Amino acid sequence: MTQVAATEPTETSPAPGTGGRGKRDRSTTFDAIAHVLLVIWSLLVILPLLWVLVSSFKTTKEVLGNPLTWPHSFHWQNYVNAWTQSGVGGYFINTVIVVGCSLVLVMVLGAMCSYVLARFRFFGNRFIYYAMLAGLTFPVFLAIVPLFFILKNMLLLNTLPGLILTYVAFALPFTVFFLHAFFKRLPYDVYEAAQVDGAGEWRTFFQVMLPMARPGLASVAIFNFLGMWNQFLLPIALNTKTSNYVLTQGMAEFESQAGYAVDFGALFAAVVITVAPVLVVYIIFQRQLRGSVVAGALK
């Protein structure tokens, strides 16, 4: 499961020692075919997204007309409608709150837990670690019904704190699993030195060990962010109050309503609102992000 550590650095630093030695090859046909394949694939990815973007500027009447035409004018009203009337704005804010809080919590708790598990020997250490691993493999669907009643009994059903706690709990195994490997590799002499200098366990962790684990933390944080931003099952089962909706479930709701209310222009605008922020952040940080996601998945 962890054999692939070697691939991690190559992704973040492009073009590893493979400079153009040897003579240039004449077989450019392969390259041509390769480019054709890749261009077809890229178009297959981009065109649907582009079509959505274009359609988001059409009036609903235009959307219902020929799908291949351009909008007459930029119909920004769709965005206003989506944001206010369809409630996407509220969902967006809820999502930011839920994902933001969950992310901070799970990173802090996950780092603490994995640190203790990786660096201290005590009875039951391995057991806890393997329990976490098992928690990674079981489908959330198995847990969803009892979870519903656990939250209900704790009066956390349909509340944002309840949703945040569940997000944290279900992101915890992966976070611990990933960071465990990371803390394990940190040098022990630094820890010893901090102890000799009189730092307590708390200070050693927050001022010495945690800063050293920063690269690992960044990778897991990105991974967790995307997972939480895209989370769908937990909110639709545990958070059914409309005013508490997060974006993903709001979008699903929107789509199922669109059949009757028919504000398709706003639907497309809502899709753009959901996708654009993450996509823009991705394009800016694409190298680091892809590197860490790949590193996370290969671990």
Partner 1 sequence: MSSSSTTTSAGRTARPAGRGRRRRWTFDRVSFFAVFLGLPLVIFIVFVVSPFVQALYYSLTDWSGFSAAMNFIGFENYVKLFHDDTFMLSLRNSIILGLIVPFVTIVLALALATVVTVGGSGTGAVRGLKRSNLYRIVSFFPYAVPAIVIGIIWAQIYDPSRGILNALLTEVGLDRFADYAWLGDSRTAMAASIFVIVWGFVGFYMVLFVAAIRGIEPELFESARIDGASRMRTALSITIPLIRDNIQTAYIYLGIAALDSFVYMAALNPNGGPQNSTLVMSQDLFTTAFSKGQFGYATAMGVMLAVVTLVFAALVFIVNFATGGRDKGVRR
Closest CA to 289 of 201, 218, 239, 236: 218
Buried b (16+ CB within 10 A) or exposed e, 189-210: eebeebeeeebeeeebbeebbb
Which of 59, 97, 181, 201 forms a contact with partner 1 (CB under 8 A)?
A: 201
- Residues numbered 206-265 forming contacts with partner 1, rule: CB under 8 A: 211-215, 226, 229-230, 232-233, 236-237, 247-249, 251-252, 255-256, 264
CA of 256: how far to CAs of 253, 260, 272, in Å? Answer: 5, 8, 17
Tokens of 4: 């692939």
**Cα end-to-end distance, the chain, whole Å:** 6
The one segment of 77-85, 86-94, 96-104, 124-132 that binds partner 1 by CB under 8 A: 124-132
Q: How far is the CB of 9 from partner 1 (least distance, A)?
A: 9
- Residues numbered 21-80 forming contacts with partner 1, rule: CB under 8 A: 21-27, 30-31, 34-35, 37-38, 41-42, 44-46, 48-49, 51-52, 55, 63-68
Q: If 0-12 CB within 10 Å is exposed, 13-18 middle and 19+ buried, where does residue 86 land?
A: buried
| Residue 135 binds to partner 1 (criterion: CB under 8 A) | yes
Q: Tell me which residue has tokens 């920004």.
A: 76
Closest CA to 177 of 120, 142, 220: 220
Whether 110 and 176 have beta carbons less than 8 Å apart is answered as yes
Q: How far is the CB of 54 from partner 1 (least distance, A)?
A: 10
Q: How far is the CB of 165 from partner 1 (least distance, A)?
A: 6
Which of 6, 70, 123, 127 forms a contact with partner 1 (CB under 8 A)?
A: 6
Q: From CA 277, how far away is CA 294, in angstroms rounded?
A: 21
Closest CA to 246 of 173, 171, 167: 167
CA of 243: how far to CAs of 37, 87, 91, 160, 274, in Å? Answer: 46, 9, 8, 10, 17
Q: How far is the CB of 220 from partner 1 (least distance, A)?
A: 14
Nearer to partner 1, 139 or 243 (CB): 139
Q: How far is the CB of 76 from partner 1 (least distance, A)?
A: 20
Nearer to partner 1, 189 or 243 (CB): 189
Q: How far is the CB of 271 from partner 1 (least distance, A)?
A: 6
Which of 128, 160, 181, 221 forms a contact with partner 1 (CB under 8 A)?
A: 128
| Contacts by residues 276-279 (CB-CB < 8 Å, ≥ 24 positions apart) | 278/226, 278/229
- Residues numbered 277-296 forming contacts with partner 1, rule: CB under 8 A: 278-279, 282-283, 286, 290-291, 293-294
Nearer to partner 1, 198 or 243 (CB): 198
- Residues numbered 81-100 forming contacts with partner 1, rule: CB under 8 A: none
Q: How far is the CB of 74 from partner 1 (least distance, A)?
A: 19
Q: If 0-12 CB within 10 Å is exposed, 13-18 middle and 19+ buried, where does residue 253 land?
A: middle
Q: How far is the CB of 67 from partner 1 (least distance, A)?
A: 4
- Residues numbered 162-191 forming contacts with partner 1, rule: CB under 8 A: 165-166, 168-170, 172-173, 176, 185-190
